[in-house]
Amino acid sequence: MFKKRSVWILATLAVFLLGITGNALAAWGTKELQTEKSAVALAREMDRGNYKLVTTEELKSWMDKKTPMLIVDTMPYEASYKKQHVPGAVQMEFPIPEMTTLDDGKKAALEKLLGPDKNRLVVFYCGFVKCTRSHNGAMWAVKLGYKNVYRHPGGIMAWDQAGYPVEKVK
């Protein structure tokens, strides 16, 4: 009886310890260096661009509260925006490499899209965290004097994975 009870206690203790350390052990299996690299790249882009970040959940909350804002999808029209975009978003494509200059035509188009109110809430997004199209849009909006500029880094992938509705162009 004592032996059975000891084995039961040891087995319970082992399961308990495995449960406690399981998450920590699972973390060792992730690619932490890749996560770190992405996080640092995002932080450095945000610092250079001087804009703020908004999470998928925060953006959805703003939309649910009907917060006045302009949402800009920076992905290519045919390959992405047309297939799915955040409801109400408008489209203006930006390149992936960081834009060190903005030609007069693109500048005029961006200013027209953003409008005259420099305090307007504007949110830029692209496909996913590593995509830098939204960085370019947000950074240039700030350089043009807009003060309430956000980047939604998770983009359409995070939006879709959260199960939020999307719109398509028919």
| Pick from 6-15, 78-87, 91-100: least confident | 6-15
pLDDT > 80? residue 53:
yes
Fold of 50-161: Oxidized Rhodanese; domain 1 (3.40.250)
What CA–CA distance (Å, rounded) separates 96 from 92?
13
Whether the CB-CB separation of 147 and 119 falls below 8 Å is answered with yes
Q: What is the SS3 assignment for 148?
A: strand
Domain residue ranges of the chain, discontinuous segments joined by +: 50-161
pLDDT > 70? residue 107:
yes
**Overall average pLDDT of the 145-166 stretch:** 97
| Pick from 23-32, 64-73, 95-104, 124-133: least confident | 23-32
Whether the CB-CB separation of 118 and 91 falls below 8 Å is answered with no
